[in-house]
Amino acid sequence: MKINKNIFGLFLIGTFLLSCNKNEKADGYGNFEATEITISAENSGKLIQFTAEEGQILKKGAYVGFIDTIPLSLKRDQLLVQKTIISSKSSNVLSQISVLNAQLKTATINKNRIENLVREDAGTQKQLDDINGEIEVIQKQIKSIQSQNLPIINELKSIDVQLKQVNDLLQKSYIINPVNGTILSTYAESKEITSFGKPLYKIADLTNMQLRVYISENQLSNIKIGQEVTVKIDEKDTMKNYSGIVSWIASEAEFTPKIIQTKEERVNLVYAVKVDVKNDGSLKIGMPAEMWITNKSE
């Protein structure tokens, strides 16, 4: 009888402890999120190669595929030919200017000599006037030819700008993954025709997840950014614990979202809180979880 009483007493104590644990409530309820990025095409054309698959883990800078570049390559070749033709015209003009500059240099030397002769009364004013007239004529010829060369120079600059644009589009024809993450969805297939801005795939970094929970105003004093909290998810018949860090607290209240179902938690206004949690592979986007504040102020 004494043994039975002891067993019955232990049973009562265990039942009491379990009931106490069941009556405990989490400080916040919410769902896991991740920063999702949609990668879009930066050029239009046929998707020659596209290797992205759902669930695939990609590194930043990884090659994913490319869009047909033949039209752009032909356009670049055409511009290069045009540039060569225009450059030859400019070369002819520049050669004429070079000849005139040589003549101007010779005339300037002769002018200096005549000025010296005039000072020594060995030359005449007419000689000086003639050489000044010759220099003036050459200078006008140079300006005239330079004005003819200006449109050619502007045309060459225009072609250089077009070449830069084509080279930029050629570079953007290669689909390079911009961030580390896991592909969540794909929106295109190889051999499809795509266009600028069309979504190709969605990616998110799932190594670090964010739990968005909602707390009431009277809980704000118990939580702050950088604080460590406990995050719990369902795992079979028990709860699995994670360590989390509060990374953001909303500055304004909002009406209670539908995801908070318990009557006690459905207050009129709540504050959103984000908790960063390192993912061990078990956490998924949209998964429900609880937040427990480990160090509450009394």
Phi and psi angles of residue 17, each rounded to the nearest 5 degrees, phi first? -65, -40
pLDDT value of position 17: 40
- Regarding predicted confidence, which is higher, 123 or 229? 229
Q: Which of 258, 274, 277 is nearest to 266 (CA)?
A: 258
- Regarding predicted confidence, which is higher, 141 or 22? 141
Cβ 279 vs Cβ 207: under 8 Å: yes
Whether 296 has a pLDDT exceeding 60, the answer reads no
Whether 198 has a pLDDT exceeding 90, the answer reads yes
pTM value? Answer: 0.67
| pLDDT tens digits, one per residue of 109-165 | 888 888 888 888 777 888 888 888 888 888 888 787 777 777 888 888 899 999 999
Section 195-199 average pLDDT: 95
pLDDT value of position 166: 95
pLDDT value of position 256: 63
Q: Which residues contact 213 (CB under 8 A, 6 or more apart)?
A: 27, 28, 29, 30, 272, 273, 275, 289, 290, 291
Residues 47, 173: Cα–Cα separation, whole Å: 9
Residues 256, 114: Cα–Cα separation, whole Å: 99
pLDDT value of position 267: 53
User: What percentage of the chain has pLDDT greater than the value 70?
Assistant: 86
- Regarding predicted confidence, which is higher, 97 or 279? 279
pLDDT value of position 240: 92
What SS3 state is found at 70? helix
Whether 298 has a pLDDT exceeding 70, the answer reads no
What SS3 state is found at 91? helix
Q: At 227, which amino acid appears?
A: Q
Cβ 90 vs Cβ 153: under 8 Å: yes
Start-to-end CA span in the chain (Å): 45
Section 177-187 average pLDDT: 96
Tokens 């953007």 correspond to what residue? 172
| pLDDT tens digits, one per residue of 247-285 | 999 988 887 665 554 445 445 678 999 999 999 999 999
| pLDDT tens digits, one per residue of 7-18 | 434 343 444 344
Residues 129, 272: Cα–Cα separation, whole Å: 90
Residue 276 burial by Cβ neighbours in a 10 Å radius (0-12, 13-18, 19+): middle
Q: Which residues contact 261 (CB under 8 A, 6 or more apart)?
A: none
- Regarding predicted confidence, which is higher, 236 or 203? 203
